[in-house]
Amino acid sequence: MKIAEQDVRRIAKLARLNIDKFELHAMTENLNSVIEFASQISEVDTSNCDECMIDGMLTNVFRDDIVVNQCDRENMLKNAPSQEAGCFLVPKMVE
């Protein structure tokens, strides 16, 4: 499947991109090479590959959710221009 310049022009319009003729030609060539590469990948025989081969390589990269270094309220509020009841006091912005 080949993409024509008119298709790229339409995609650019939908994406609200302004591209000139040189960019249009280059973009058309780039998209066609991507599509050609994708079609080459789809032709690869994967019938002998294990579907879950990558599952064994995955590890949990998340850390435990532990609270550390809690800030002292008095220490946080000491530089506040105004405070009330242990909270920052800010001017009202909405009437």
SS (H, E, C) the chain: CCCCHHHHHHHHHHCCCCCCHHHHHHHHHHHHHHHHHHHHHHCCCCCCCCCCCCHHHCCCCCCCCCCCCCCCHHHHHCCCCCEECCEECCCCCCC
**Mean pLDDT in each 10-residue stretch from start to end of the chain (95 residues)?**
91 93 92 92 80 65 80 86 89 85
Q: Which amino acid is at 37?
A: F
Domain boundaries, the chain: 5-42
pLDDT of residue 52: 63
Q: Which CATH number fits domain 5-42: 3.90.1570.10, 1.10.20.60, 3.40.50.150, 1.10.460.10?
A: 1.10.20.60
pTM for the model stands at 0.47
